Each structure stands twice: as C-alpha cells, then as structure tokens.
Structure 1
Amino acid sequence: MSRKILVGYDESAASRRALDFAVDRAKARGEGVLVAHVLEWSPYSFLTPEELEQRHTRRQEELARAEVRLMKPAIEQHAQSGVELTSLVKYGHVAETLCKLAETEDVSLVMIGRNGQTGLSSRLFGSVAGTLAQIAPVPVTIVP
C-alpha cells in the first residue's frame, strides 16, 4: 500500500473536518488514511493490586468501545470515497502517540483539527495541534 495521511480523531466537529479534508487530499495523492484516536490514561502508581488487575480489563473495554463508537462510524462515512481507510485506537499522550504513529506507520502527513482553544489557557497548557506542529517528524496540517 502507498503512504498514509494520519488523522487525529476524537469525534469533535474539528476532527470530522480534518478527516473530510484528509480523505480529499488522500484521494488526490493516491494515499490511504489512517484514522487514530488516542485515549489518555492516568499513570497513577498508588493503586491497589486489585485495582491494577481491574485496570487492564477496563483498558480493553475502553479500546473496544472507542473502536465501535468512534472509529467504525468515521470509517463507514467515507467507505464510498475510494480511499483506503484504516483505524487505530491507542493509549498515551495524544501528540506523542500521533508522532510515534507517524514514524512507524509510513505516514506522509498528519492532519488534526483545531478545537479553538485560545487565550491564556492555550499559552499555558499548549494544545495538541501546537505540539504536533513543533515535534512531528512529518508535515502537519491544522484544519480550522
């Protein structure tokens, strides 16, 4: 298969616009689209052994739920586009995980929607789009 455009997807209006734009670009470029959703998971280490045991089960349930509720409808929406779409659900820090995927999945471009965070909170805490623009190993398109 050819290279892919990686889309960070969270079912927000911005991520849906990014996916639509990525499918259009992929069709024009003869590439596929990899739609990725990243679940952030707290790395707390003060859990009891019982809680740690249950954690793995909860993680598997969350991954399966995200695949069915988020990814499957997103892929089905573009099924008739003629573009090969695949999906992945991962745990981790969103920007770092998307960068790792860009390195390991033969990605030529990352697309992400801008959720409109502005002002002081954006400058203090940063944003996924801003972080990706700075650290991604491939070009990043931020879709408004």
Structure 2
Amino acid sequence: MTVKLVVGIDGGGTGNRALSYARKVARLIGDCELVLVFVIEWSPYSFHTAEENEQRQKRRVEEIDSARTRILDPALAEMKSEGIAARGIVRHGNVADLLNSVALEEGAEQIIVARSSDGGFAARVFGSSTANLVMTASVPVTVVG
C-alpha cells in the first residue's frame, strides 16, 4: 500500500526545507507518494461588486496557473528525476484548513511543513498557520526547522 505524505510548499526556502525532509522520508518508506500543496491565501468573506467578482475569478485562475508553472512543476520535475512519486495541488483559502483537508481527501499519513524564520510571505503563510495546523490537524504534522 502506497503511503501518502502531504507537503506544504511556498516556493521559497521554507517550502524547500519541508520538501527536502519529505524527500528523505519518502526514500526511507519506499512505496510513498508526495502530494505537494501550494496554498494561495484567499478569503471568501470579502464583498465586491459584480465587476470586481469577475476580475477576482480571473485573478484566481491566473494565480493558480502561475503557482503551478513557477513552483509546482519545477518541484515535481525534481522529484520525478529522483524517482520519487509526486503530484501537485494548488488551492485558494486558509493554509492550515486546506492542508488538513487535502490530507483527509488523499488519505495521507502525515503533513510535512516547515517553520519559518524567513519573514515576509513565508512567515505569514507558515508562521501562525503552522501553529494552527498543528493544533487542528486530523493527521500527524511534522514541522521542519
């Protein structure tokens, strides 16, 4: 039976640390698939005009395409070149909620994320989100330093 691990990536050093650790774990397990997840923070609770909502939907599609091209595809190619089974998912929403949801949908054994000390976007995404994920996740969470 293939073991699935969900890996939160952010396109920077934080996500690279999580991916590096997940790569090591996948090699130890052997029959393992990494599910790389990039979350674009997105609140459904902001109210807009009809025109703004149309533009917002267009931006969502553009952001997903950009994240897939710039972040997921290179990471997946790297995993493939190393013989590690991996797939990628991009979603909009709350980081902690979505990583947990993907883990449940995929039947994952655990979630791997990195603690951030980088500042900026990575800190915002994997700072308090990591703490929330650890407190609410339905599967074990490994936090890489």
Is TM-score (shorter-chain normalized) higher than 0.5? yes
Partner of 1:10: 10
Deviation at residue 116 of structure 1 after TM alignment = 2.2
Deviation at residue 49 of structure 1 after TM alignment = 0.9
Identical-residue share of aligned pairs (%): 36
- Structure 1 distance, partners of 2:85, 2:32, is 8
The unaligned stretches of length 5 or more in structure 1 are none
For the aligned residue pairs, the C-alpha RMSD in angstroms reads 1.9
Change (3 A) 1:39 1:31: same
Partner of 2:102: 101
- Structure 2 distance, partners of 1:115, 1:90, is 20
- Structure 2 distance, partners of 1:32, 1:107, is 9
- Structure 2 distance, partners of 1:138, 1:43, is 26
Is 1:80 aligned with 2:84?
no
Deviation at residue 34 of structure 1 after TM alignment = 0.5
Deviation at residue 72 of structure 1 after TM alignment = 0.7
CA contact (8 A) 1:23 1:81 kept: no
- Structure 1 distance, partners of 2:46, 2:35, is 32
The unaligned stretches of length 5 or more in structure 2 are none
TM-score (norm 2): 0.87
TM-score (norm 1): 0.87
Number of equivalenced pairs:
138
Partner of 1:140: 141
CA contact (8 A) 1:114 1:143 kept: yes
Letter in 2 for 1:49: A
**Structure with the greater alpha carbon radius of gyration:** 1
Write out aligned runs for 1:18-33 (5 A): 18-29=18-29, 30-33=31-34
CA contact (8 A) 1:14 1:115 kept: yes
Partner of 1:36: 37
- Structure 1 distance, partners of 2:46, 2:132, is 26
Deviates more, 1:51-60 or 1:41-50: 41-50
Write out aligned runs for 1:40-119 (5 A): 40-116=41-117
